[in-house]
Structure 1
């Protein structure tokens, strides 16, 4: 596969509204060479959030701007798919809230869609009990219909039977994190971090073989151990290194069911010498589904 199979779209989305760094990631990753992995860049969708207000009814932070950002990304993404047939999107976030935009119009555009979510956290909090109300803490719950109707649109955007969570931490958790893991639906496909670390390639192959519908692959870079990538908002130990994550990703990126990829939660403000941005580009450039035009 080569760069003509993909188009790039930025989603500078920071659901905290504080400008803490995630919104700068699309530009930073482009500058580090990620734009060289594709030959068509559609720029950025209008997903910038500046509000820090928390909705009193739902508990969601920046609720009106979040809804607007989801609509904007959905429109930009599926316009790109329509206008560039034969290409698949590579979306650069921003934080994991971008999945709300990815899935908002997906069912109408491509029918039933599944998700491979590689994340150090389950992202399955409910907004009222969340410390922050940030949608990046609860986007998987929202996608599965567990959240305020302003975001779930009264019906799930994703069926739990078509969702896979890979690399989340399940050991040495604080009580709140353990309670979040316990909330996960029974029919969600999961491979936690200890199982993933025991057999990275096998974990990717199992997830690839499990998929029964067209799939979206989302990489939250905090799935990585902070010893190799600390430039994230919520680092958590016990994750894979770059080689282990590459082994997990390879079967997913090679799957004929893959229709798009997104990368989220990188903090370039915590990467002053750009070393971690370059590590992410190196990680992706080693994958068989994206051709690199330089040595990486």
Structure 2
């Protein structure tokens, strides 16, 4: 069941907010023969002001959006369905994780660790800090103060090594219990080997989060914060397909397609093709 969560944590209504609708127009629902779970209208942010106390843009709106996302995802899971949540940006993840059962693993595929907080983020966007929130290290203004996913059950995959002062600060904040396989290591070990190993290393429930900026900008430039030296499409498909098809997968989220950077829609259509192939549509 596909659910649209058009949250752009900049509060400025960037192209990520329009990504779910663009994927719909490009035929994703029909290609997957998926049921339509509708749009979470509360998952929008219209407050671009960075709160001076917490350092987070639109903190109150983010809390409301997270509650609405949690309620919708929880209802779908309770009905025995498998949600595919289309963002928006990575700020949708804490709301999703609030709906997941205890002992869930998180497969977090992203160019960035998303482990900043309100003080260290250069933007104040919650998409800079979603994994820190999920693992219990986020700003109090948007965090419950506890880990939504146990850090030892988080697998951070495909991120780029620290290359400047901001990314070095971020890397130093990452909980050491989180298991990391960066982009270079994924390629060295073989993307298919890494994905297949994770899919079968446990029989507990898992959630798959895919930030499309993990793809090298040579293949997908239509993201907000592109990073070089990433996975090519073939690598991403090899890594994610066994995860997306794992029997223990509860659901999947997809974020950071920026339609502002895709005026002719060709990158959106490519994302539909890739997701359809991964999910077996």
TM-score relative to the length of structure 2: 0.95
Contact 2:117 2:139 in 1 (8 A): no
Q: Matched residue of 1:250: which SS?
A: helix
Aligned residue in 2 for 1:74 = 70
After superposition, give the CA deviation of every residue in 1:240-282 in whole Å (9 maximum; x if it has no partner): 1111100001221222221100100001121111110011111
> Aligned pair 1:185/2:175, yes or no?
yes
Deviates most, 29-38 or 222-231: 29-38
Deviates most, 120-129 or 37-46: 37-46
CA distance in 2, matches of 1:38, 1:99: 24
Q: Matched residue of 1:277: which SS?
A: helix
CA distance in 1, matches of 2:48, 2:202: 37
Q: Matched residue of 1:88: which SS?
A: coil
Contact 1:162 1:211 in 2 (8 A): no
1:135-214 to 2 correspondences below 5 Å: 135-170=126-161, 173-198=163-188, 199-211=190-202, 213-214=204-205
Deviates most, 51-60 or 119-128: 51-60
Residue 101 of structure 1: CA displacement?
Answer: 1.0
Aligned residue in 1 for 2:46 = 50
Aligned residue in 2 for 1:41 = 36
Residue 230 of structure 1: CA displacement?
Answer: 0.3
Contact 1:14 1:94 in 2 (8 A): yes
After superposition, give the CA deviation of every residue in 1:188-231 in whole Å (9 maximum; x if it has no partner): 11110001122111121232244463110000000000001001
Q: Matched residue of 1:97: which SS?
A: helix
Q: Matched residue of 2:83: which SS?
A: strand
- Of 90, 114, 119, the match for 2:110: 119
